[in-house]
Each structure stands twice: as C-alpha cells, then as structure tokens.
A = this chain, B = another copy of it.
Amino acid sequence: MIFSSLEINKEEPLYAQIEKHIIKSIEKGELKKGSKLPSTREVSELLNISRNTIVTAYENLESQGIVLSEKGKGTFVAREAKIVKDDYNIHWEDKINNYGKTCETLDIIKTELPWKKGMISFKSIAPEEKLFDLEEFKRSFLEIWSLEGEKLLNYGYAKGYKPLIEYLLQYMREKGVNTEGKDILITNGFTEGFDIILAALTNAKDIILCEEPTHNTALKIMKAYGLKILSVPMDEGGINVAQLEKALKEESPKLAYLIPSYHNPTGIVMKGERRRKVYDLFKKYSVPIIEDGFNEELLYSSSPIEPMAALASRGNGVVYIGSFSKILFPGLRIGWILADKALIDTLESVKRAKTIHCSFLDQGVFYHYMKSGAFNKYLKKARKIYKNKYNFTIQQVKEYIPHEFIMGEGGLHVFLKLKRGIDSREVLRLCYERGVLFTPGDIFYNNSKEISTLRLGFSRLSEEEIKKGIKIIGEVVKSLE
C-alpha cells in the first residue's frame, strides 16, 4: 500500500502530509488516473491516526480536483502526472521600501551587541518591574472587571477610554496646562503617538528641527519617514538659543521635536528664562512644537517643571506626547497626545486607520489603578529607590570612570562623556568581553561625530551590579588613555 512509505513528521499537520504523500505518489506514477485509494479506515489503522484526519485529507484533495469520491464505491485518482508546480517564491528583500529598510537598519536591537546571560547591562532604561504593585493592579482589574468586563472586551472608541481621557486631562491641568480647546488621544505609548503625528503632518523631505543629541527612537522614526533632520546643538542649559534662531530663520522647518523637561539622553532640564526664550522663538517663526514629556515624573535634583505645553496657555502650537512607560507598566503600551481639539479629531481618524484603538481592557484597568491613588503611593516609593540608585551611580562614575562630564537631573540613566576623545564603541567592545554592556552615545546624534559619550541605565541593576559594572568600564577606559 502506498502509505507504507510515509514517514510522519512533527512540523506539518497530519492531513497535509497525507495529501502531499498522495500527490507525490501520483507524480511518481505509483498512483495512476482511476486508481482507487485505500479506504480511510485502512489508512487510519495502518498509520494509527484518527480517521477524521484521513477524511479531511481526501476531501481537500477532492476540492482541488485531484481525487474523486464516489458514494459507496470509494475514492479514485482524478488526474495524472505533475500536479504541484514549483513553489511560488517571492524575493521579499527586493520588495521592501525605504521606510521598511530604514526601520530595520536603525533597529538597535538588531544592530547592537546582544545581552547574554550573566552580563551586567546598562542598556535598559525600562522601569524595574519588581517595584510594580501587583496586588493593587490585580485589585483594579477585578474591580473594573465586575463593573464592565464584557464591554471592555468588545470594540471601543478610537480616541480612548473616556474616564482615562478625563483623568489625563486633569493630570495635564495639574501640570499647568490649559486644556481649553484641547483634547487627548490615547496611543500605544510615545512611539505610536509620534508615528501618528508624523504620518498625518509630514511628507518626505520636510524639515523637522530637533535637539542634538536626541532620542534615538525618534531619530529612527523621522528618518524612516524620509524627513530632513535639522539638528540644533545643546549646551548644558538646553538647546542653544542663538543657533536655534538661526535655524528657524534660515531653514523654515515644518515642525520641531523637543524634549525640554528631561532630555533624552542628556537628562538636561531646560529652565526658566531659557525655556521661555525658546518657546517665544518657535512662536515668532510659527513653527509647531512636538513636546516629548519623557521622564517629567522623575526629576530628583531639581523641582518639577511645567511642560512647554503650559507656556502655550490658550494657544495651540504645542502638541504634547505623554507616557508613563518609564515609570509604570510599559508592557501595557499606554500613552497619549494632548493637542488642539481639531487636530486630535484628525489624529483620531488616523489612529482608527492604524490600530483602531488601544486595548480597552488595559485602559480600563490602568484608569482604575491611577484613580485609586495607588499611582501616587507607587511614584513616591519608586522615586526614592531610583533616586538612591541615581546618586549611587553618579558617585561610582565619579570614582571609577575618568570623564569630561556627567549629565542628568533624574530619570533612570546618566549620560557621560569620556576624556580625551576616547571612543565609547571601543570601550564597549572591550567591556563586552568582560561581561558589561551599555549604550554608546553616537546613536543619539544625527550630525555630530560624537564618539566619546555613553548612556548608563541603572534602573534594573542592584548597587552591587552597578559598582561592579562601572569599575570594569573604568578599567577599560583607563587602559585606553
């Protein structure tokens, strides 16, 4: 019987294997047109698999016109010779457009050295999950579940879960933002917020003004969209005002992307007079600001600062992107855009065309968690722990790594520049051999050939690991001096 030669593998569904075996037997000429196939019962017994599986295989072959089943008589081969032509193969690499290629080329997870078990990695700036208050979160889940479980599992609204939107509007008001004429769109974190804004407002070759250095994910997304990045250097107080005015005047950018309150990666907080001047310049040249509210909640060495969106008052020139992902539940992917009402209305349609809406279950649980007061309790605890780690890290860097500067007024990382133009990639290569990883600073730069900076994320490391890792980095740096 033809099935004696069939060897079952685990990769494919059984009935597909049976189909293929029959097709091959026809192709090889072992089964001719008109030949009767063994009965499903016989095959089932021989191969010791369910009869239904064989029935499915025979039915599929019949629907393809390869066999023909006659009631009461059995199943017969209906065609001869070559049935399956060569596999249909596409060379996908040739089909990827510039957007796709840029996303891949600049995807640091694929291009940077990978973490291996046992290594001390300063790469992560994700929050330490052990700090999350799981009991409170579960309570929030159970509470909202009993209130509106089934509703949260069905389609919701593109703009977001209404109570969460109201909560965030109030949260923004508490930060000093005038929400009159403004609205909020819930997004899958900062990343989707930024993606939606660029998708709706920019065309390839548009000029977008940024700080130099700036957030590497933002750089990646802007480059993928084919935007021309107009980088304005920073000094220790923030973006350089004279160079900013020159850039605004000479290049007429369409938009600006700024991280004014806790800059990534430098950690600079742009304050007082400088902040106002920068804002006024954008106003003067009518260039809208996309403000990244990154890490506003995690300042340690300076007092909380209003977002730039607060300076705008009733004006609508600032589009604010918020996210709690650096302190709370990044796995849920909840962020928001606060902007002019009419603009949000358009962005809501864009959101609907991209992901329809964010998980209503997550939004509901998140809202209940925030509203319960658990967030403030958690924030207090987390700030204290992170602040200690931050101080410890700074102290260790000062002790072990020869540096030109250390920057950052809070957050989950410090940013430093090595002395005498030492190449941080070379440092990384040597540290990697000794089990230590960090983020080389060059990925945050667009124009400058800045080779001596690096970012050290400390949020998920113990003091012991921080000390050990920094000592190794220090030794490597010294060996290169």
Q: How far is the CA of A330 from the CA of B358 in the complex (A)?
A: 10
Q: How far is the CA of A353 from the CA of B218 in the complex (A)?
A: 9
Whether B316 and A89, one on each chain, are in contact in the complex, defined by CB atoms closer than 8 angstroms, is yes
Q: How far is the CA of A180 from the CA of B16 in the complex (A)?
A: 12
Task: Encode contact with B along A61-88: 1 for CB under 8 Å, 0 otherwise.
Answer: 0011100000000000000000011011
Judge if A272 is at the interface, Cβ distance under 8 Å.
Answer: yes
Q: How far is the CA of A132 from the CA of B188 in the complex (A)?
A: 25
Whether A88 and B276, one on each chain, are in contact in the complex, defined by CB atoms closer than 8 angstroms, is no
Q: Which B residues touch A435, using CB under 8 A? A: none
Q: Which B residues touch A6, using CB under 8 A? A: none
Judge if A343 is at the interface, Cβ distance under 8 Å.
Answer: yes
Judge if A252 is at the interface, Cβ distance under 8 Å.
Answer: no
Q: Which B residues touch A331, using CB under 8 A? A: 151-156, 359-361
Whether B350 and A100, one on each chain, are in contact in the complex, defined by CB atoms closer than 8 angstroms, is yes
Chain B residue at minimum C-beta to C-beta distance from A126: B155
- From A112-120, A191-199, A402-410, A419-427, give the one contacting chain B: A191-199
Chain B residue at minimum C-beta to C-beta distance from A362: B359
Among B103, B318, B358, point to the contact of A350 (Cβ < 8 A). Answer: B103
Judge if A228 is at the interface, Cβ distance under 8 Å.
Answer: no
Q: Which B residues touch A129, using CB under 8 A? A: 150-151, 153-154
Q: Taking A176-B15, A312-B88, A353-B107 as contacts, is the C-beta distance between A126 and B154 under 8 angstroms?
A: yes
Chain B residue at minimum C-beta to C-beta distance from A199: B99
Task: Encode contact with B along A173-184: 1 for CB under 8 Å, 0 otherwise.
Answer: 111111110000
Among B63, B89, B283, B347, point to the contact of A88 (Cβ < 8 A). Answer: B283
Whether B316 and A92, one on each chain, are in contact in the complex, defined by CB atoms closer than 8 angstroms, is yes
| Total number of A residues with any Cβ neighbor in B under 8 Å | 120
Chain B residue at minimum C-beta to C-beta distance from A154: B129
Beyond A104-B346, A155-B330, A191-B356, 15 extra complex contacts between A and B, CB < 8 Å: A11-B173, A11-B180, A12-B179, A63-B273, A87-B314, A89-B315, A100-B347, A126-B155, A129-B154, A138-B142, A154-B330, A188-B355, A333-B357, A354-B354, A361-B362
Please give the residue numbers on chain A whose beta carbons come within 8 Å of chain B beta carbons, in ascending order.
11-13, 15-16, 20, 59-60, 63-65, 84-85, 87-90, 92-93, 95-97, 99-101, 103-104, 107, 109-110, 126-127, 129-130, 132, 134, 137-138, 141-142, 145, 149-156, 158, 173-180, 188-189, 191-192, 195, 199-203, 217, 220-221, 224, 254, 271-273, 275-276, 279-280, 282-283, 286, 288, 303, 305-306, 310, 312-318, 325, 329-333, 340, 342-343, 345-347, 349-350, 352-362
